[in-house]
Structure 1
Amino acid sequence: MTSPRDIRLPLRVSTAVLSWGALLVLFALATPAAVFPADVHFSPDGGIRRHLLRAIRDSRHRIDVAVYHITSFELAQALVAARDRGVRVRILTDQEKARADGRAMRIFRAASLPVRTLGVSDQSLMHHKFAVFDDRVVATGSYNWTQTAERASYENVIFLDDPALVARFAEEFQRLWRSSRE
């Protein structure tokens, strides 16, 4: 015959296991399927340029920029400074925008920064707006790297450091770079 003491021990163990199991299930339900660390900024005057400048300054190895329109003097200078400290910088922009004799393009040409273009017809635009920093962070959104985008337009940029997302943007940049022209 089984004593009451023999019955309590397995019951206590079962209750403990069930309690831990319930906690794990609750934790799993409360946690999103994927967590993407993100830092979101808006303009006008939301400091997007300041955050891009910080990402450029913090980069140590490579910066790949694919932006439709670049006229920001400060961002252009920061990219040249990054290259001067040994960071590999590549810029991909729209063909028509690169032809415009803007201040940023003059800075890039004077510094011999590699700028390539896409957009071979009136129907085709290189309309991306993203940059990959050291294959660790991507900045993407509606923001062109212009004074108007910073001060007047309603724009956004999200900085992501999820390795899978960063890798996708890096792959897209490589694909575009291979099919671009100088």
Structure 2
Amino acid sequence: MDRSQIRNMLLQTFEDFQMTRSERSALNQIFSHVSLTDHNLSLIRNEAFQIFREHKPAGVPDGQALSWLEDLIKILANTNTKEAALSSEALFSPHDDCSHRICRLISSARKKFDICVFTITDDRITEAILGAHARQVQIRIITDNDKSFDLGSDIERLERSGIPVRTDQTEYHMHHKFALFDSEYVLTGSYNWTRSASLNNSENLVITNDPQLLVRFESEFEKLWNGFVV
């Protein structure tokens, strides 16, 4: 099953933003006769996230369209095939474990990653982001407007390089710290992307490929991205 076949099949079930019983049954039948390797599972998830981003009408509540995405993830998880092993890890600061792991994830990104963080002042992470941008990885950044003007903030530098950036313009703070890599891994935790977090603070960082968490964080990113107009 190639990418175009997968996309067409998923688009047919996305027309009304929810899966009927017959559609779920049909997908179960199809997937039960296909060798779902780790690569194929990743391909299907990528196409599903892409359809969710591109085809959800602005007037449709996120929760309504999200139910389609969650149904698909459940079908993949329940199919009697070779399922990608669940993988999670936790890291802590101070010390450089967190920052080095973020840089390695950025450097290993193949197609795209989305960043949603309060602030970025760690030049090592910024250089890794710019390196990914140079090799034409698609990147989007959401951050807080107040922190983007702080001394040492790298947001303006990243935006000048051509990376799309959107900021929270409200009186409150966009205080998230998470990132999504190739629709395969989500990174989250208290860890701020700053040198002080690496050198001094007690922080945590969690990385997982749990598909249900990926769905939730992907939805949150898209909601914020569409809400923070340029």
Give the superposition deviation at 1:119. Answer: 4.3
2:207 is aligned with 1:166:
no
Contact 1:60-1:86 within 8 A present in 2 as well: no
Tell me what 1:78 maps to.
Answer: 128
Contact 1:49-1:75 within 8 A present in 2 as well: yes
Tell me what 1:150 maps to.
Answer: 198
Q: Which residue of 28, 31, 55 maps to 2:105?
A: 55
SS in 2 for 1:77: helix
Q: Which residue of 60, 64, 68 maps to 2:118?
A: 68
5+ residue gaps, structure 1:
1-34
Tell me what 2:142 maps to.
Answer: 92
CA distance in 2, matches of 1:148, 1:158: 19
Q: Larger C-alpha radius of gyration, 1 or 2? A: 1
Aligned-residue CA RMSD in angstroms? 1.5
- Greater strand share, 1 or 2? 1
Once the two structures are superposed, the pairs formed by residues 1-182 of structure 1 within 5 Å of their partners are: 37-121=87-171, 124-182=172-230
Q: What is the percent sequence identity of the aligned residues?
A: 36
Tell me what 1:21 maps to.
Answer: none
Give the superposition deviation at 1:168. Answer: 1.1
Give the superposition deviation at 1:163. Answer: 1.2
SS in 2 for 1:51: helix
Please identify runs of 4+ aligned residues in structure 1 that moved more than 3 A: none
5+ residue gaps, structure 2:
1-84
* Larger relative contact order, structure 1 or 2 (CA cutoff 8 Å, min sep 6): 1
Aligned residues: 146
SS in 1 for 2:132: helix
- What TM-score, normalized to structure 2? 0.60
Q: Which amino acid aligns with 1:43?
A: S
- What TM-score, normalized to structure 1? 0.76
